[in-house]
Structure 1
Amino acid sequence: MTQTHQHTRHGEGGHHLDHGHGGHHEHTDGGQAEILDLDAEVLAEHMASITAWLPLKSEPRHIVDLGCGTGAGTFALLERFPDAHVTAVDTAAGHLQLLREKACARGVEGRVRTVQADLDSDHWPDLGRPDLVWASASMHHTADPDRALASVRDLLAPGGLFAVVELAGFPRFLPAHAPENRPGLEERAHAATDSFHAEHVPHRGADWGPMLTAAGFTVEAERTITVNIEGERSAAIGRYAYGSLQRIRGVAAPALGPEDLAALDELLDIDSPNSLLRREDLAVRTERTVWAARRA
């Protein structure tokens, strides 16, 4: 459909900085897809706990996954609700292609429909009348959240539920005293991206409760999940940290001092003994907040 807005999430060198699923961004790349896949792998247990928590009146039969990315939410929802069909919506054709390939590999292609669409468009395509609309790390990318929320309200079947899942921010991976030559580097790198985020994703970290209420929803429940996964629990955490900090570097580099930049590059040097891929002190630390709302 027509792309009415083209908001970039890129830093220098085309790095997507955010972990969002690209609900209205046309550009995609392999690195972004890899980060989304790693996010899904590392945080699968937390995603399952969110789908189990949803205050549903009955099991949904038709679900719309807005800003589906490469399918983390889609497949968690299909697993949780075995009789449901999911319409997976994203603006990135590459993400949708990967999602279709995964659906075929898992034998659930008959339960998934993909739709390429821009959540910032005035006119959404026909997505049916879902019992559940799921939006994970995608709503904060909309240029006009009020309009997007109104579109969701109009989309939902009577009594249907809208689940908004948002990250508190980019995950942290290193302990505070690391790396040894530049303690606190990770926090400084994040701070160096603040102005970028303020300009390009101003709704990241927002409280969606008041916005949902203003858009004609009643928030039935809200939950914040604290994520703290030690590195030994998942072999993917090193790759997740590497890909994430590599993307942060693309935006943070101009604002970092030479010592910090050199230390960051050492962490990203796969041949270095201090490479993120070799460290044994990594963990994934972040928070996710979920709002569950119905049409008022």
Structure 2
Amino acid sequence: MNNAQTHIRHQGASHGHGQEHGIDGQAEILDLDAEVMSEHTASITAWLPLRTAPRHIVDLGCGTGAGTFALLDRFPDAHITAVDASAEHLQRLRAKACTRGVQERVLTVHADLDEAAWPDLGVPDLVWASASMHHMTRPDRALRTVRDALAPGGLFAVVELAGHPRFLPESAPERRPGLEERVHTAADRLQADVMPHRGADWGPMLTAAGFTVVDRRILTTNIDGSRSEATGRYALGVLQRIRGAVAERLSAEDLAALDELLDTSGPHSILRRDDLAVRAERTVWAARRT
């Protein structure tokens, strides 16, 4: 999973923006998230309150590998078991591992973590779950399974998102100020029913599952979009996917303004803006099996 900023899974029909100029799917957005947020992810891996450097790490809901490769960089002697329900994501991750020359340190496992019985993941020293726990219908059961799998004294790192990232200033776009916030509000209301644990406080649930929470941090980011052209493509991909899900919940005026932003060939395209930023908040819990 590691769906990072892409909780909206509904692609929606093409709405006339020329798909060849858009973002093809969730996997590409995950890759862009990994690129844009790389320093932020590295800071989380550097913060982890580990007693010793882990030798075996499990990345639960690994997506296309944002956390996997950050952890491999942080712990050069470790090997990682990367678990995800998407065969496409795992294929991309394996291709990246080969390109980076670390394929011998990565084992991919295709599994649905909502199943009661998980595949054998070994005895990890560290389990990492970034933006994946809230996708599970029985997170309480999953937490207990992680605890049982961890080595004594092992660490479980849970990274949760406060919501989708914001890219535009509040005054944008000029004809519909505050558009992005209204779009995200519609998405949040839609997702509240299907993912009730998104944005949850995982501390009490970790304690109930038998962990000791040893630290918790709230990390905010505000990345200047001019640092990388990937920011525009990232914003485009996230908003395209949200648009496919919430179009019917927006006013006609807001939908028209959003479509102008997503029209990559038009004068108001989000790719043409020079005021983009990536503003996001993530909470990290570090919990130890005792």
TM-score range, shorter chain: over 0.9
Partners of 1:286 and 1:101 in 2: how far apart? 28
Alignment counterpart, residue 187 of structure 2, candidates 189, 193, 197: 193
SS of equivalent to 1:223: strand
Q: Which amino acid aligns with 1:65?
A: D
- Indicate yes or no: 2:72 matched with 1:78: yes
Partners of 1:230 and 1:291 in 2: how far apart? 27
Partners of 1:179 and 1:37 in 2: how far apart? 26
Instruction: Encode CA deviations 1:20-65: one digit per residue, 9 max, x unaligned.
Output: xxxxxxxxx9510011000000000000000000000000000000
- Indicate yes or no: 2:54 matched with 1:55: no
Q: Is the 8 A contact 1:224 1:289 kept in 2?
A: yes
Question: Scaled by the length of structure 2, what TM-score is found?
Answer: 0.93
Q: Which amino acid aligns with 1:11?
A: H
How far off is 1:232 after superposition? 1.1
Q: Is the 8 A contact 1:132 1:163 kept in 2?
A: yes
Partners of 2:11 and 2:105 in 1: how far apart? 39
How far off is 1:83 after superposition? 0.2
Instruction: Encode CA deviations 1:88-118: one digit per residue, 9 max, x unaligned.
Output: 0001000000000000000000000000011
Q: Counterpart of 1:5?
A: none
Partners of 2:76 and 2:111 in 1: how far apart? 26
**Identity between Structure 1 and Structure 2 (%):** 72
Instruction: Encode CA deviations 1:168-209: one digit per residue, 9 max, x unaligned.
Output: 100000000000000000011111123321111111110001
Q: Counterpart of 1:224?
A: 218
Matches within 5 A, 1:174-185: 174-185=168-179
Instruction: Encode CA deviations 1:211-241: one digit per residue, 9 max, x unaligned.
Output: 1011110000001111100111122100000
How far off is 1:143 after superposition? 0.3
Partners of 2:222 and 2:178 in 1: how far apart? 18
Alignment counterpart, residue 94 of structure 1, candidates 76, 88, 99: 88
Q: Counterpart of 1:289?
A: 283
SS of equivalent to 1:158: coil
Q: Is the 8 A contact 1:9 1:200 kept in 2?
A: no
SS of equivalent to 1:192: helix
Partners of 2:96 and 2:225 in 1: how far apart? 26
How far off is 1:273 after superposition? 1.3
Alpha carbons of structure 1 residues 12 and 62: separation in structure 2 relative to 1, 3 Å: closer
SS of equivalent to 1:229: strand
Q: Counterpart of 2:20?
A: none
- Indicate yes or no: 2:30 matched with 1:36: yes
Where does structure 2 lack aligned partners over 5 or more consecutive residues?
Answer: 1-6, 15-22
Q: Is the 8 A contact 1:171 1:285 kept in 2?
A: yes
SS of equivalent to 2:122: coil
Q: Counterpart of 1:212?
A: 206
Q: Is the 8 A contact 1:190 1:252 kept in 2?
A: no
Where does structure 1 lack aligned partners over 5 or more consecutive residues?
Answer: 1-7, 16-28
Q: Counterpart of 1:251?
A: 245
Count of aligned residue pairs for this structure pair: 276
Partners of 1:151 and 1:233 in 2: how far apart? 41
How well do the aligned residues superpose, as a CA RMSD in angstroms?
A: 1.5
How far off is 1:147 after superposition? 0.3
Q: Is the 8 A contact 2:29 2:234 kept in 1?
A: yes
Q: Counterpart of 1:158?
A: 152
SS of equivalent to 2:272: coil
Instruction: Encode CA deviations 1:139-174: one digit per residue, 9 max, x unaligned.
Output: 010101100100100110111000001111000000
SS of equivalent to 2:212: strand
Question: Scaled by the length of structure 1, what TM-score is found?
Answer: 0.91
Q: Which amino acid aligns with 1:10?
A: R
Partners of 2:161 and 2:186 in 1: how far apart? 19
Alpha carbons of structure 1 residues 12 and 46: separation in structure 2 relative to 1, 3 Å: closer
Q: Counterpart of 2:12?
A: 13
